[in-house]
Amino acid sequence: MNQETPEPKRVRAVQLGQMLKMKFTPDIQLLGQLIFAKTIGMIAGPRGGGKSLLSMLMSYAIAGGKPLEPWGSGSGMPVAYLDGEMRAIGFQSRLRLLHARNQDAESIRKVQQNLHIISRDFAKDVIGSIDQVEGQRRIDALIPDEVKLIVIDNLSAWTSGGREDGGSWATIKSWLIEKRLQGKSVLLVHHTGKNGKQRGSSAHEDLLDYSILLSPMASNGEEQDTRFTVEHTKLRDHLPHLKQRYEFAIYTKDNKLFFDVAPAGVRISEHAQEMLEMHTNNIPMSEIAEKFKVNKSTVSRTIQRLKAAKSGQEIEVAVA
């Protein structure tokens, strides 16, 4: 006996009165109020400017449930990081330095389980490209179902021939929309052109929920750090504290990866003495950090450096 196939559910318009009565599942936060499940974002910056370092920090914070200023706390949810251009040994080295800083046993457990790496180098395969349907299928097959954030590092490396025209983007756009409908978030890492803006078709920006622009800054000669400013050039949500620019300094010390974050223009060195005095008066690190709008680790290192300098050691105080 033949059974009738049920009629597929039809997409239809919804009246405002009905829309206002609908109950939606709350958005799943991945990183503070910036990255939710189903959001699509982009980090754009010049070659060697810190894009991969920043996207790794964000991925690690989400997978390990760690805070990352200025955005907020990571959720501890699964992340897939697609690295298309680094040698596997170099990528492993960066992750080892970042992981060495984590002293939280529960966070270590989470991130070792939740951060999934897909690398063309250690896979010894071109895998696929996100501007080709067959390539998308091959990539999708490698991403665990439970993953909530997919990081594409970088857009040029994961497209065929590095094309960034409107035709190539149309295929990518369909894939991004599909990920959103699956409840997944995507973060695209992209190069900027000579004009300092994200390279290629302006249509790239249309689908984005947020866009972050990196601009390089001069390195601190002593620490050989990577410095850049972060500017949110597009935000769909109302996030006033992200309207200002922030300065990042990322550096290696004692085989660990450290980073400092502060609002642009705030010179930590100018406030170091005040921080030390507040600390001496038993004011909590959290209150000091809140006053100067920096993270607690920045306050701690600034105080340690000033103490060392006062004791006669030749240590630079500036941590801006």
Q: What is the DSSP string of 113-177?
A: HHEEEEEHHHHTS----TTSHHHHHHHHHHS-TT--EEEEE-TTTTSGGG--SHHHHHHHHHHHH
Sequence spans of domains, the chain: 26-253, 266-320
DSSP 74: B
Considering only the top CATH level, what class is 26-253?
alpha beta
State pLDDT tens for residues 69-118.
Answer: 999 999 999 999 999 989 999 999 999 999 999 999 999 999 999 999 99
Query: How much is the pLDDT for 162?
Result: 60
Identify the band that residue 313 occupies on the pLDDT scale cut at 50, 70 and 90.
very low
pLDDT reported for residue 292: 81
CA dist 275 and 319 (Å) reads 13
Residue 179 zone, left/alpha/beta (φ > 0; ψ -120 to 50; rest) = alpha
Of 9-13, 67-71, 190-194, 196-200, give the lowest mean pLDDT range. Answer: 196-200
Structure-token match 């997978």, residue found: 63
Residue whose C-alpha is closest to residue 189's, from 151, 231, 142, 148: 151
Pairing of strands 40-45, 210-217: parallel
Asked if 185 contacts 38 with a C-beta cutoff of 8 angstroms, the reply is yes
Quote the pLDDT of residue 88.
93
Can you tell me the distance from the alpha carbon of 296 to that of 289, in angstroms, rounded to the nearest whole number? 5
Q: How far apart are the two ends of the chain, measured CA to CA in Å?
A: 76
